[in-house]
Amino acid sequence: MKTELISKFLEKYGHEPTANYFTPGRVNLIGEHIDYNGGLVMPAAVTLGTWLCMAPNNDNVIRFKSLNFPEEREFPLQSGYTKIGPEWYNYPLGVFNEILKKHELNTGLDLLFYGNIPIGSGLSSSASIEVAMAYALNDYFNLGYEKIEIPLLAQKVENEFIGVNCGIMDQFAVAFGETDKAIVLNCDTIKHKIVDCNLGNYSLAIINTNKPRKLAESKYNERVEECQTALNQLNDEIKLNNLCELNAEKFALHSHLITDPTVLKRATHVIKENDRVNLAAKALNEGNLTEFGRLMYASHQSLKDLYEVTGIELDTVVDFCADYKYVIGARMTGAGFGGCAIALLEKGKEEDFTKELTDFYVNRIGYPAAIYISEIGNGASAI
């Protein structure tokens, strides 16, 4: 891949790059709709991701080009920038804007991006681009940012420059990922621990439903509001900063305070899902992939029945996986209402799995899903 990209860079710019970087996408293995409730998530970096090749120029401009998008843009090197339209280059441009608040860059740059993360799939292509740009600038110009500062900077870009009110999980996972490791991240404190995630005889199958995610944003905001309602009602009797300060046992003592049955379902999912992350970390540390797979299925069932964010497409994928004997666990990952599911698939069964799932999915949904096989890989790095 690196050799091919260098060739493409030469073709587009007339000279070779002087630095090359890779930043992965991510999946969340378990712990869904927990981040805005102050709880635990378990993301891992995947081997799909974003490549960035770059070289200085003498023209005092920043040139953005991509092998994925036709839009190209050139900006003069200046002290700050504002978002321009919806185009892809706003993500790296926002990183320049943030870094230029503290640092002066003394040369223009020619940039070429390429990614093999399916756009809009929920594997965090935007965070991958942002962290790639921040990591590259920090490394190339020796800006002195600590590792933890890179995802925090990228999150700030997403929140303030792009205008998406996301949490820290995506940027953190693509910066801190490690091969055959998962990250247990406390979204309230940003404290984290690395847990073994050697999948042994299994690969990570990523199944993109290819459903347009039109409902995701509005329903996401609705779920945030429902969780806030639950928190407010619980605070009539106990003092909490977020729902995930309760475990299931303590929640049972106070759940009578939540008067709306729908809101109670949402809160119940959050509390139990947070507990599932701890159980999943224990299972992985013990090498018990069967138990981890069971927890994945339980997570999906909760997201379907209690949180109601799955939809027929994601449920169809997980229904197939539950009956396919070479899969030991599957669940939706991301916000839901489309996007991706993940499954632990026995190695050597990829071709059969792809064919049978495709037939099953097309028969029920009417169009095919896209299936990718990945390992759990490293975070941002120079290559």
- Catalytic pick among 110, 170, 275, 315: 170
* DSSP assignment of 216-246: HHHHHHHHHHHHHHHHHHHTTTS--SSGGGS
Give the separation between CA 148 and CA 376, rounded to whole angstroms.
Answer: 20
Widest pairwise Cα distance in the chain: 68
Give the separation between CA 115 and CA 121, rounded to whole angstroms.
Answer: 13
Give the separation between CA 337 and CA 316, rounded to whole angstroms.
Answer: 12
| Residue 138: CA count within 13 A, CB half-sphere | 22
Q: Are 51 and 113 in contact (CB under 8 A)?
A: yes
Give the separation between CA 98 and CA 94, rounded to whole angstroms.
Answer: 6
Structure tokens that stand for 152 in this block: 């925090």
Q: Are 376 and 179 in contact (CB under 8 A)?
A: yes
- What is the three-state SS of 334-382? CCCCCCEEEEEEECCCHHHHHHHHHHHHHHHHCCCCEEEEECECCCCEE
Q: Are 174 and 372 in contact (CB under 8 A)?
A: no
Q: Where are the beta strands (DSSP E) in the chain?
A: 19-30, 40-57, 61-66, 73-76, 108-115, 181-186, 192-196, 202-208, 327-333, 340-346, 370-374, 381-382
Residue 170 annotated in active site: yes
Count other C-beta atoms under 10 Å from residue 3's C-beta: 7
DSSP 118: P
Quick check: helix, strand or coil at residue 304? helix
Angle at 129 between CA 126 and CA 133, to 5 degrees: 140
Catalytic residues: 170
